[in-house]
Structure 1
């Protein structure tokens, strides 16, 4: 299985699905859950029997007072194969960059029908 790399925009969280309805098939629904894309990605990986997503800061740039961070999230199958890698835009906080990477991963999973 080849890994997929994604830099696409995240999903639209304006009309969320209740978190109690998250399942392995819910990625195909038009909208996701309200709140954190990172939390939803963790729930989705559990439902699909994948390893938990791995978030890592892969780039820091700029002077200390306006530093920007780029995060990567990797999703692995239980066998250790890379299913997907998604990178964030450069953002001002690590939390925002990690959330952006998770949104990109969810967008890719939705549109790739994995």
Structure 2
């Protein structure tokens, strides 16, 4: 029977690191890949599901996953706001450029 202790502790540690990186707006792709490998490792082995569930609860992995989900969601909202601000600035800039071109065209005709 496979011992789930080490992979779950690594999973918890990766999740904690992901939470910190997400709070700082850093890239999570490497940690996501590592976590995915740990999940695959767990899937590929034979273990007692009750033992797995008990150990997940003792490490509070579900709570950490929920916290990570919330932090990532907040960061996504912040990024969307920044994109909207950039979009508004571009629209305004293009409006000013078009207006100034029309004024130049009008001045050249006069």
TM-score scaled to structure 1, two decimals?
A: 0.24
Structure with higher helix content: 2
Which one has a larger percent strand, Structure 1 or Structure 2? 1
